[in-house]
Chain A
């Protein structure tokens, strides 16, 4: 597969084996700045592993990942951590908010990891929470807010560093369709206006409909539907 010009993040021929199971078997991927790409496929197909590889969380057994001209697979763990801190944002299905911290502290966390002062970080965090309509929760802890609210807090956190790419792994998986769609709407609106690319792993077509295009992962192999049709 040829890499489309102007791609922000591309992956070529990724392979990853966990023990007896082959999670990725020659998967490819590419995304442009500001683009929302849905990664679809049945459960166990390797969607999440693809996302983890693209984000530099997991190293593939073979293949190459290029972000902004840099080879991710050649980076050290510290470099990849720094990349995730500064250039990427993350939303997971659940369990990603630190239960002891208040919501605003949770949102401010990535900024603080990047070295911002607490005050400044929390001011920026609050602005993002306003944007995601959860600023009234700032003093509450994750245990005290509903699932939809918590997920919006998580979206605010994923965007707070103005990342170039947001990785969202089933971000609405634990939500009802109303809350789920609201989260998708807020996420994609915010991402589009900030020219942030979104890699969206989901198995729900209605959630995937918020994307610009989709790729399908089946048995560890990826299929870019735009180029097929």
Chain B
């Protein structure tokens, strides 16, 4: 077979794909858009690792200080950095106060000049936020003059909120509780490589990728078959004028190739467009700059080659089942029944690949990445292989019903393959999502834990600045909008002698606040109590005896400590039963009301406020944060959550949700396209059915059944395979297998919702097609 012949046939096919009048164009465009969306998603996926690496790199480049880093002396190339991070609503704001100590002080990345005292440079997103009505509260908090912007190199995302403020006398703050350091350069090369990924997390990531990409592949396969029936008819016409069956196959391949290449072009376009759009969106608090999203060249080339190849392959495979004769596609009474055995081999093979890794999740056991990916892929492909068989088998047994039902069932019986193909993508996506949800729910316990905080008693805590009197600070918080109650607890420790062996915790608070830490019989200012019942009060009982002399422990209580301060435990101590404070801590030692505390001990106290916030007051948390910032710009009041989760785990779950949403939207779009195509092909029939009086409702219902039956079967199969895969994955991570029914139902529900939306969207065109105009001969 000569190369010229080949290229001629392929070229002919390409021309058919592009030059078929309006009809041809529409079909080519549909295919191209379908393939393009898939390609864009693939490119995006290949770009994500790079984007995350780039974020990491920039994060590292601007890192300033770490715990336990070497202290360096003041010099003309040093800079004082103090953290002043804050939270606005639910968004993190990265804040740093800077004070250069000499002309050669290092500038942070993206900043061209140090802001002076009372000034700041901000990220574009923060600038926008501050200028908006919404940012009013934050503007009060960041009460600096904006003198510049932080450049892209200094930010990890386009939507990141960050600022650098100038400060004075920051060196003093380094002595206090504020987090900061004196540095001579940004970007800490000694940070070391990040922790290696936990194998279970790695497993999750791998599975997420496979689960998201498989439906895209299925989708692309479906997209290149848009307009298949019409194409078959055209090929038959070609056979009539003398092309042989090999030539028609090559021409069909040429068509598919043209469509997919057009799709690649569109896909690149979509990707570039999406890349620009990416700058303006923030997905689950992660935003990126367009420049981050560069697909790795190797993967991009792979996509560029694999997509057309797959398109041609799918076309050739699809043509295998049809005999194209000169007088039309052969009127086969009924295609051969689908066989079950090889379809079962795929998921079984997948299970076989995964089986050897059962129970390796614990103790840093490693999973073979290839086996994981291969096994999961085979299982999911198994869904697409089994579904046509399931649909055919079930539909063949469906019995009688109303007219709408009969129309739908008969159509499905005649073309169950088309129906199955339409829902394959959804089934795969749902199966994957169910498996993942199960895996997540199963391992959730390992990566999130309920925090000790009792959020019903207090929702925030704030430290009183070192050396300040607690009472006025507490008063300021109490006057803050949205604060219901302030519990003030001051602590320090006293030892049994100078070089203390045993320590006793002293808690100073007024009666109301003390009731938060112990059950008091009655209480007046001047009372003393010994807390009982705590598991941490090993030495307390011995030391909390009247007459015992106690020494202030300077190492413990910081610079305010004075070794010479001593205190003798007075008489009149009453017993009180300890209870958990709002942080979940049950304390022992002595509980003292301020009236019983000698003045000389006051300097030892470090004070923490627990704030109970009225959730019905809008922005109550931010009012508190504003108060805190007013008192000390570097203070960071804590907001309590009942659950803490591992950040990386949360990121994966986030990625899954976003990806699944995109994939389902994509599949919904393809479903709609093929639905509309089918309707268009039946335009004449629909019109004549309406002519002899068929109710529109009947036809609409039949369209719904026609989609709902295969979708129902697809979702059932998907749920079964998904749960099997989920169970296997859980076994692999050594987690007990438990079906997470709510998530199974919600995922299948979302799948069903997509179908419903598609049906609803296809109703207006259906109604339009049912207009009698369709009867007019063209």
Contact = CB atoms under 8 A, between A and B. Distances in A.
Interface of A: 18, 48-49, 52, 55, 57-58, 78, 81-86, 88-90, 92-93, 95-96, 98-101, 105, 109-110, 112-113, 118, 141, 143-144, 157-158, 169
Nearest to A163: B692
B413 to A, nearest CB: 7
20 contacts: A48-B775, A48-B777, A52-B691, A58-B772, A81-B690, A81-B693, A85-B692, A85-B694, A88-B692, A92-B775, A93-B777, A95-B685, A96-B684, A96-B685, A100-B411, A105-B406, A113-B694, A113-B695, A118-B406, A143-B331
B777 A55 contact: no
B689 interface: yes
A78 B688 CA distance: 16
Which of the listed residues B333, B410, B693, B694 has the most CB atoms from chain A within 10 Å of its own CB?
A: B693
B7 interface: no
Given A57-B691, A112-B402, A113-B694, 12 more contacts: A52-B775, A81-B693, A84-B693, A85-B694, A90-B691, A92-B691, A100-B407, A100-B414, A101-B406, A105-B410, A112-B403, A113-B403
Contacts of B333: 144
Contacts, number: 83
A84 B692 contact: yes
B188 interface: no
B746 interface: no
B407 A101 contact: yes
A204 to B, nearest CB: 16
Given A100-B407, A101-B406, A113-B698, A86 B685 contact: no
B564 interface: no
Contacts of B411: 100
Which of the listed residues B331, B411, B415, B694 has the most CB atoms from chain A within 10 Å of its own CB?
A: B694
Nearest 4 interchain pairs by C-beta: A85-B693, A84-B693, A100-B410, A96-B688
Interface string B683-721: 011001111111110100000000000000000000000
Contact of B688 (A92, A112, A141): A92
B400 interface: yes
B693 A109 contact: no
Interface of B: 331, 333, 400, 402-403, 406-407, 410-411, 413-415, 684-685, 688-696, 698, 772, 775-777
Contact of B693 (A86, A92, A105, A118): A86
Contacts of A113: 403, 692-695, 698
Contact of A98 (B400, B407, B693): B407
A170 B5 CA distance: 46
Nearest to A119: B400
Nearest to A97: B685
Nearest to B412: A100
A31 to B, nearest CB: 18
A56 to B, nearest CB: 9
B776 A109 contact: no
A133 B775 CA distance: 28
A15 to B, nearest CB: 17
A57 B772 contact: yes
Contacts of A84: 691-693
B685 A98 contact: yes
